[in-house]
Structure 1
Amino acid sequence: MLTFLRNLQPLRSFKRSLTFLAGLPDSYDFTAVDIAQKQLVATWVHAYRAGVVLPFEQVGFQARSAEEEDGLLLYIFTLAGTTNKVVLEISAQDGRTCMASNLILHHRWTGFLYDGDPVWVESGRRFFEGHPATRGWQPTYNSHWFTVENIEARLAADGVPAEIDLLSLDIDGIDLHLWKALDSVSPRVLIAEFNSAVPSDLSLTVPYRPDFAYTDNEPGREMFRSASLAAYVAVSRAKGYRLVAVNRLGYNAIFLRNDVAADIFPEIEASVIDTLPDVAVTRAEHWPRLKDLAWETVGDAGRPVPHRQGEPATVG
C-alpha cells in the first residue's frame, strides 16, 4: 500500500507542478499553484485515511521556502490540523523567501513577520500589498531587533496570540536564547535553523549578548553563531517539544509540541543529520576553526554552562 500511494500519478504530477511553478518570486501563476497545493493536500488526506503516513522525503517541496520546508510544514499541518492558522516568523527578510509566505499566500494564514533590517521589511510590505492573495489584508510586518529582555513585550504589543500554530526562528545569532525566553507564546510547531557545523553530539550555543551579530566575528569565523541541533533538542525537550524532522541539507529542524500529533510524528534523534553529505562538508570546512571558541554548553534542562575558549567543547 505504501509503495502504491507513493507512486500515485496525482501525487507525482502535483509535486512536479509545484517545482515548476515556483519560478521567480514575483512572477508566477498564483492560481495554478493555489489549485495544485489544494489537490496535493487532498491526496495526502486520502493517503492518511488509508492508514499511510508518508515519509518526509516524499512530501517536501519548495514554493516560498529556501528548500523543501514548504512541503514539510504543509504536510504536518494537513495531518496534525490547525487551531488559528497564525504564523510568527522572526527574520522573514523581505517575505519573498521565508517559511511563512506559502502558508499566508496559498492557505490564508495570519502572519506576524519581523526582520531586523527595515529595508527588507519595507520591501516585504510592498510585496504583500501587491500580491493577489493579500492585497486586502496584509500580514503584520515590522522591523525589530529581538533580545531576551524585549521579546515578550514586543510580541504582546503587536497582538501575537498566546497560542499559535507555527513559529519560524532564524536570526543567525542568539536564536536559542530567544526560544528559551519565549514563554507567553506557545507555538504548536517550531521550525528553526541550527548550526550544522557543530557535531550532533555537542550541545552548544553562542553566549548571550543582546547585540550579537555574526558579521562582527573575525574573518573565517562567521559560522560562530546560533546553536547546535543537540542544544535545540535539550531546550525544546525542557519546554515540552520533540524533534520530528530536518530538511535534506541538515540545517533546519522541525519540532512539535508534545500534545500535537504524537501518534503520527514520532521523535527522532539529533544524530539523524550525521548521514547527510552537506552536513559533513560544512563540518569539515568550519568546525576546526570554531571548536575552541567561547561556546556555552547547554545541559539537559536547557541551562547554559560557560565554555572557556581553548577548552574542548563537550556536552554538559
Structure 2
Amino acid sequence: MNYLLDVRDRQRIAIALSKGAAMMLARNIDLKQPSTWEFSGFSQNGEDGILDVLRKNLKCSNRYFIEIGAADGIENNTGWLLVAEKYNGLLIEGSQQLVERARRTVVGYSIGAEIHNMFVTKESIRDLKVLAMHHDPDVFSLDIDGNDYHIAQAIFDAGFRPKIFAVEYNSVYGPERRMTIEYQPTFVFTQAHPTHLYYGVSISGWRRFFEQHGYRFVTVDRNGVNGFFVDPKHFDASFLVGVNGLAFVENQSQYKKFRIPNEQQFALIADQKFVTI
C-alpha cells in the first residue's frame, strides 16, 4: 500500500512540476502588479509565482526556507522551492502521517531539507530555532489555520528575521478589522466553531503586526488566502516603491461555501472571543 501511495505522490510531483513550468512561462510579468506574478505548481493560490519574483529580486540569498504547516510537502508554499529550485529548508507539520509521506517523496529531492512532526505552540518555537540552519531564511511560510498571529510573534521574539514572509489571512474579518483569535495552545479550527470560520488573522492585523517589525506589505493573492511581506533591506528600494499589490481579496473558497460576503460571514462568529491587534 505504501508503494502505491509513493507512486501516486510521485505522479503528483511530476504533474506539479509540469503545470508550474507551463504557468510560469505563460506569465506576462509586470513588476508593478503582483497579480501578474502568480503561478501554481505545488501551491494552491499562486504563491509559487509571487515567491518566485520576490526571490529573484533579493540582494542576497541563502537558498533556505522554513515552512510551518507543510502538509505532505507536495501541496504547500515551498514545494516548488524544494523540488524545482533545489532549495534546502525546514518543513514542520503536525500530522505524523503527512510527515512520513513527505519523507518518502519530496524531501528526497533536496540534499539538506528536513521535515519534522511538531504541533507548533509559542513554547515550541525554541525547538524550531535549534532545528533551523538559518534564522534569516529567504522564505518563511506560516499557515496553521489558527494561532498564526501568536506564533508569528514568538518567531520574531526568538530572533528569526526572514527576508520574505508569507502568511495566511482570514478574509472573514474584512479589510478593516485588526483582529485575531485568542491564543489556545491546542487550537484546532475544525473543532473551534461549526462554521470553521473562527481562525487566524485579518489582513489589517497582519499589516499592523509586520509594520511594527519593520516589514513592508507587498500583496495578497488573487484567491484571498495569503499575504506577503518583505524585509526592505534585502531589496532595492526602486523595486519595492513600484509594487502596487492587492490590498484585500475575499477568500474565494469561503465565499463559494457560504455564498455570502465576509461581513455576513463574520456575523456567524461575532460572539466568539477575539484579540485586537
Q: Name 1:288's counterpart in structure 2.
A: 267
Change (3 A) 1:95 1:29: closer
**1:170 and 2:170 matched:** no
Q: Name 2:205's counterpart in structure 1.
A: 231
Structure 1: gaps spanning 5 or more residues: 1-22, 299-316
Per the TM alignment, residue 150 of structure 1 is displaced from its structure 2 partner at its CA by 2.0
Per the TM alignment, residue 83 of structure 1 is displaced from its structure 2 partner at its CA by 1.7
Q: Name 1:193's counterpart in structure 2.
A: 168
Per the TM alignment, residue 54 of structure 1 is displaced from its structure 2 partner at its CA by 4.9
**1:67 and 2:45 matched:** yes
Per the TM alignment, residue 95 of structure 1 is displaced from its structure 2 partner at its CA by 0.5
Change (3 A) 1:259 1:82: same
Kindly indicate whether the alpha-carbon contact (under 8 Å) linking 1:174 and 1:209 is maintained by their aligned counterparts in 2: yes
Where relative contact order (Cα < 8 A, 6+ residues apart) is larger, the structure is: 2
Q: Name 1:26's counterpart in structure 2.
A: 13
Deviations 1:17-44 (A, max 9, x none): xxxxxx96234395x679779x95xx99
SS in 1 for 2:141: strand
Change (3 A) 1:279 1:241: farther
**1:155 and 2:134 matched:** no
Kindly indicate whether the alpha-carbon contact (under 8 Å) linking 1:201 and 1:271 is maintained by their aligned counterparts in 2: no
Kindly indicate whether the alpha-carbon contact (under 8 Å) linking 1:273 and 1:279 is maintained by their aligned counterparts in 2: no
Deviations 1:7-26 (A, max 9, x none): xxxxxxxxxxxxxxxx9623
**Which of these two proteins has the greater Rg computed from alpha carbons?**
1
State the one-letter code of the partner of 1:166: V
Deviations 1:266-299 (A, max 9, x none): 498998215887787551552111223211101x
Deviations 1:115-172 (A, max 9, x none): 1110111011111256xx44xx252101101111221x21232133122111000000
Q: Name 2:97's counterpart in structure 1.
A: 119
**1:92 and 2:70 matched:** yes
TM-score, normalising length: structure 1: 0.73
Q: Name 1:245's counterpart in structure 2.
A: 219
Match runs of 1:236-315 below 5 Å:
236-261=210-235, 262-266=237-241, 272-273=247-248, 281-284=260-263, 286-298=265-277
Matched positions, count: 261
Structure 2 distance, partners of 1:284, 1:142, is 38
State the one-letter code of the partner of 2:80: N
Question: Quick one: percent identity of the two aligned structures?
Answer: 23
Structure 2 distance, partners of 1:197, 1:186, is 28
SS in 2 for 1:244: strand
State the one-letter code of the partner of 1:85: R
Q: Name 1:77's counterpart in structure 2.
A: 55
Kindly indicate whether the alpha-carbon contact (under 8 Å) linking 1:244 and 1:267 is maintained by their aligned counterparts in 2: no
Kindly indicate whether the alpha-carbon contact (under 8 Å) linking 1:88 and 1:168 is maintained by their aligned counterparts in 2: yes
Deviations 1:48-104 (A, max 9, x none): xxxx73522222111110121111110111122442011100000000111111011
Q: Name 2:79's counterpart in structure 1.
A: 101
SS in 2 for 1:156: helix
Kindly indicate whether the alpha-carbon contact (under 8 Å) linking 1:229 and 1:270 is maintained by their aligned counterparts in 2: no
Q: Name 1:180's counterpart in structure 2.
A: 153
SS in 1 for 2:103: helix
Kindly indicate whether the alpha-carbon contact (under 8 Å) linking 2:107 and 2:113 is maintained by their aligned counterparts in 1: no
State the one-letter code of the partner of 1:203: R
